[in-house]
Amino acid sequence: MSTMDVAKRYVELVKEQKNEEALEELFAQDAVSVEPVAPPGQDRTKRGVAEIRAKGEWWIQNHIVHGAEVEGPYPHDDRFAVHFTYDITFKPENKRFTMNEIGLFTVKDGKITKEEFFYPT
Amino acid sequence: MSTMDVAKRYVELVKEQKNEEALEELFAQDAVSVEPVAPPGQDRTKRGVAEIRAKGEWWIQNHIVHGAEVEGPYPHDDRFAVHFTYDITFKPENKRFTMNEIGLFTVKDGKITKEEFFYPT
């Protein structure tokens, strides 16, 4: 698949909250996922699909999603960007807020090899 | 200035449509600016502040801006992203449309050394 094909499919799945399917279908086994800062007690970089899946599961277990908007994809060569806006409650603190971030994805040989998230820390 | 200081100042100036001031104040002299595709008759990469300024002047001369939204900045290490939404008319074709794109900026030694624009082509 071309970068734009991967990008469109990623956005299609994530809009339906099928992040797990996106990971299985579109990510390289050794893909890396990088946050701007390390979550408490975690590394900021996850290496490989298993670690990325575990991060996603942690996120789902700890948040209630009241609303989500996914804008994009915005391509440039072998990369694409996506703008995420989530209205969520962080369950451990019962704190509701809007999470606004950009994801930057790198594609190689039809698979996502890197995702990097951009947001104020 | 830190990357976040540069990022905030960039967004502040661009929200006021002070792109020329942003270029003078925040960009390295040898900064590069890269579009996903080449505009007709132009190179997709502009090298140095003079070429970037000329691109900006071409853009201003050829568009009417009816409305603009600048969201961000979204930082990650030495880079930051900005989401631009412009309601514009392309004057040569008298065609009004919404331009929706992500800018990705790289900062080194307190100056923007690279800007890359992401949008469907």
Give the pLDDT confidence of B5-41 residue by residue, as tens digits.
Answer: 999 999 999 999 999 999 999 999 999 999 999 987 8
The minimal CB distance from B83 to the residues A76, A83, A120 is found for A83
Q: Which residues 6+ apart lie within 8 Å of B34 measured at CB?
A: A76, B44, B45, B46, B114, B115, B116, B117
Percentage of chain B surpassing pLDDT 90? 95
Residue of B nearest to A34 (CA): B76
Q: What pLDDT does B8 receive?
A: 98
Residue B42 has pLDDT above 90, yes or no: no
Torsion angle of C-alpha atoms B79, B84, B72, A69, degrees rounded to 10? -110
Q: What are phi and psi of B72, to 5 degrees?
A: 135, -165
Beta bridge partners of B104: B81, B116
The maximal CA–CA distance of chain A, rounded, in angstroms, is 42
CB-CB neighbors (< 8 A) of B118 in chain A: 74-76, 79-81
Q: Distance, in angstroms, between B92 CA and closest chain A CA?
A: 25
**pLDDT at residue number A118:** 98
Report which residue type is found at A58. W
Minimal-distance CA residue of chain B relative to A84: B83
